[in-house]
């Protein structure tokens, strides 16, 4: 029997947003195996997703590495993929369409375009709208693409929370990946100090740093959430966000998680993209958008926190 492949390499926020689309695809292909091609950092997490029958790791080595590409092609050919849903829509996946999986039927942004429409114009649409249009072109019934359900990705973290706080808590994500430093607001340390003065003992302030952020987190006046001295895993992270009273973040994966969990919170955007384009704002989770994050002052952020937290 032929199988179905979904391609979504990352990042974490992108994979979270694609969960609804994955559920729609799996429900349509109930009698087929649906597998995900993704990056190694997300393989364990996504292997537990109930909408998938398996995960294949793509190391995404350079395209001049012919030995790797040959092995990847050989591996993928064993699964007899009938159709590929390219939810990454990158230059790499376009290359895969031509040379790695050229015999499968493809669903991508390219074959979603209306006559006369360019991919550049299509890419300005909100990300969930784009996935909805892409799936509709393959006649996939649209039930969940805009209703991301993360209940499968949560676990009991009672002991973890008891370790770091005995009251309600505000969860802060002041970091971002090294390649996206333009997403980083530089005044989180000052903000934490002002939140403490404003709310005194009503809330604990927690940060949950990634593997390369723990040392930087020590400079903040906040409780650093780790497990055995290391970063918590993605399911713990999602569960921690679920239990928080308020989330403050840059435009990163945790912000998208908070949004889909309908948590109260605030995400800070510079000119790198817009909140509308990444489909992140809702009745509970708000955003601030400015041209330069360095020009966004602490008082403006604090006033919006006070408005939405109380």
The whole-angstrom separation of Cα 157 and Cα 161 is 6
The whole-angstrom separation of Cα 240 and Cα 232 is 10
Residue 62 CA neighbour count, 13 Å, CB half: 2
Measuring CA to CA, which residue among 85, 79, 73, 25 is closest to residue 52?
Answer: 25
The pLDDT assigned to 172 comes to: 97
In the chain, the percentage of residues whose pLDDT exceeds 70 is 100
pLDDT in tens, 205-263: 999 999 889 999 999 989 999 999 999 999 999 999 999 999 999 999 999 999 999 99
Q: Compute CA distances 231 → 83, 227, 236, 237, 281, whole Å.
A: 37, 6, 10, 9, 27
Contact criterion met (CB below 8 Å) for 142 and 24 = yes
According to DSSP, residue 105 is labeled: E
The pLDDT assigned to 277 comes to: 86
pLDDT in tens, 110-160: 999 988 888 888 888 999 999 999 999 999 999 999 999 999 999 999 999
Please report which helix (H) or strand (E) contains residue 298, including its range.
helix 298-309
pLDDT in tens, 248-290: 999 999 999 999 999 999 999 998 777 788 889 999 999 999 9
Do 3-149 and 158-309 have matching folds? yes
103-105-23 Cα angle (round to 5): 130
pLDDT of residue 1 exceeding 80? no
Question: What is the C-alpha R_g of the chain?
Answer: 20
> How much is the pTM?
0.93
**CATH homologous superfamily for the domain 3-149:** Glycogen Phosphorylase B; (3.40.50.2000)
Residue position matching structure tokens 């393989």? 43
pLDDT of residue 179 exceeding 80? no
Measuring CA to CA, which residue among 233, 144, 219, 130 is closest to residue 121?
Answer: 130
- What average pLDDT does the structure give for the chain? 94
In the chain, the percentage of residues whose pLDDT exceeds 90 is 85
pLDDT-derived band at 201 (thresholds 50, 70, 90) equals: confident
The pLDDT assigned to 10 comes to: 84
pLDDT of residue 303 exceeding 80? yes
117-122-128 Cα angle (round to 5): 145
Q: Compute CA distances 120 → 89, 97, 177, 184, whole Å.
A: 12, 19, 25, 26
Q: Where do the structural domains in the chain lie, given as residue ranges?
A: 3-149, 158-309
In this structure, which topology does domain 158-309 adopt according to CATH? Answer: Rossmann fold (3.40.50)
pLDDT of residue 180 exceeding 80? no
């Amino acid at each position: 029997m032929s199988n179905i492949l979904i391609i979504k390499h990352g990042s974490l926020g992108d994979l979270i947003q694609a969960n609804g689309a994955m559920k729609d695809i799996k429900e349509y292909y109930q009698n087929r195996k649906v597998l995900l091609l993704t990056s190694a950092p997300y393989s364990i997490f996504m292997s537990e997703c109930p909408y998938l029958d398996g995960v294949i790791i793509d190391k995404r080595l350079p395209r001049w590495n012919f030995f790797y590409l040959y092995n990847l092609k050989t591996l993928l050919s064993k699964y007899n993929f009938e159709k590929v849903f390219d939810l990454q829509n990158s230059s790499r996946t376009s290359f895969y369409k031509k040379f790695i999986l050229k015999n499968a039927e493809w669903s991508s942004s390219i074959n979603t375009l209306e006559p006369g429409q360019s991919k550049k114009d299509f890419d300005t649409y909100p990300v969930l709208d784009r996935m909805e249009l892409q799936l509709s072109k393959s006649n996939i019934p649209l039930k969940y693409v805009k209703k991301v359900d993360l209940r499968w990705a949560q676990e009991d973290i009672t002991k973890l929370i008891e370790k770091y706080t005995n009251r309600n808590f505000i969860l802060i994500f002041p970091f971002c990946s090294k390649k996206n430093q333009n997403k980083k607001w530089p005044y989180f340390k000052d903000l934490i100090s002002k939140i403490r003065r404003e709310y005194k003992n009503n809330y604990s302030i927690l940060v949950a740093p990634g593997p390369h952020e723990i040392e930087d987190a020590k400079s903040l006046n906040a409780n650093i959430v780790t497990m055995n001295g290391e970063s918590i895993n993605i399911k713990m992270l999602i569960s921690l966000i679920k239990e928080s009273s308020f989330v403050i973040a840059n435009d990163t994966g945790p912000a998208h998680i908070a949004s889909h969990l309908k948590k109260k919170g605030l995400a800070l955007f510079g000119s790198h993209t817009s909140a509308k384009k990444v489909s992140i704002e809702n009745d509970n989770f708000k955003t601030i958008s400015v041209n330069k994050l360095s020009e966004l002052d602490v008082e403006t952020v604090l006033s919006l926190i006070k408005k939405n937290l109380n």
